[in-house]
A and B are shown apart, each in its own frame.
Chain A
Amino acid sequence: MRLPAWEFDSVYESFSRMVYWTAYGALKSESDALDVSQEVFIRVLRHMKKLEDMSEAQLKSWLYRVTVNLCVDGKRRLKREVLADELPETPVSSECELPEPAAMNAETVRLVRGAVDSLPDIYRETVTLHYFSGLQYEEIAALQGVSEGTIKSRMSRAKGRLGELLKGGELHG
Chain B
Amino acid sequence: MAEKMDEILRAVADRANAGVDYAAMRSGTLKKAQAKKLALRKNIIRYGSVAAAAVLLASFGIGALSGGFFGMSAKSEAPDNAYFAVQDPAVPESEEQLFGSESATGGSAPTERANGGDDRGDAAAPSTPAATGAPAVEPPGCCGLDSASLYWAERALELPAVNFGKSSEVESDGEHYLLVVTGCTEEDFDAYVALIMEMYPDAEAQDEAVQSCCLSNTLKIVGGQYRVIVTLSDGEMRIGVRAIEN
**Chain A contact residues, CB within 8 Å of chain B:** 12, 16-17, 20, 30, 34, 37-39, 41-43, 45-47, 50-51, 54, 58, 61-62, 65-66, 69, 72-73, 76-77, 98-99, 101-102, 104, 109, 112-113, 116, 127, 131-132, 156, 159, 162-163, 173
Residues of chain B lying within 8 A (CB to CB) of residue A69: 194, 197-198
Provided the pairs A16-B22, A73-B194, A76-B187 are in contact, do residues A132 and B17 lie with their beta carbons within 8 angstroms?
yes
Provided the pairs A38-B25, A58-B201 are in contact, do residues A162 and B33 lie with their beta carbons within 8 angstroms?
no
Q: Which of A17, A37, A127 has the most CB of B within 10 A?
A: A37
Are the C-beta atoms of B29 and A38 separated by less than 8 Å?
yes
Smallest beta-carbon distance A116→chain B, Å: 8
Q: List 5 A-B contacts (CB under 8 A).
A: A17-B22, A20-B22, A38-B25, A41-B33, A132-B16
Q: Report Cα–Cα, A76/B12, bound state, in Å.
A: 29
Are the C-beta atoms of A37 and B25 separated by less than 8 Å?
yes
Are the C-beta atoms of B20 and A50 separated by less than 8 Å?
no
Are the C-beta atoms of B9 and A112 separated by less than 8 Å?
yes
Residues of chain A lying within 8 A (CB to CB) of residue B33: 41-42, 45-46
Smallest beta-carbon distance A112→chain B, Å: 5
Provided the pairs A58-B201, A163-B1 are in contact, do residues A41 and B29 lie with their beta carbons within 8 angstroms?
yes
For B197, the closest partner residue in chain A by CB is A65
Smallest beta-carbon distance A163→chain B, Å: 6
Residues of chain B lying within 8 A (CB to CB) of residue A45: 29-30, 33
Say if the beta carbon of B58 comes within 8 Å of chain A.
Answer: no
Q: Which of A47, A61, A73, A159 has the most CB of B within 10 A?
A: A159
Q: A-B pairs with the 5 shortest C-beta distances?
A: A69-B194, A131-B13, A101-B7, A101-B11, A38-B29
Q: Report Cα–Cα, A162/B12, bound state, in Å.
A: 13
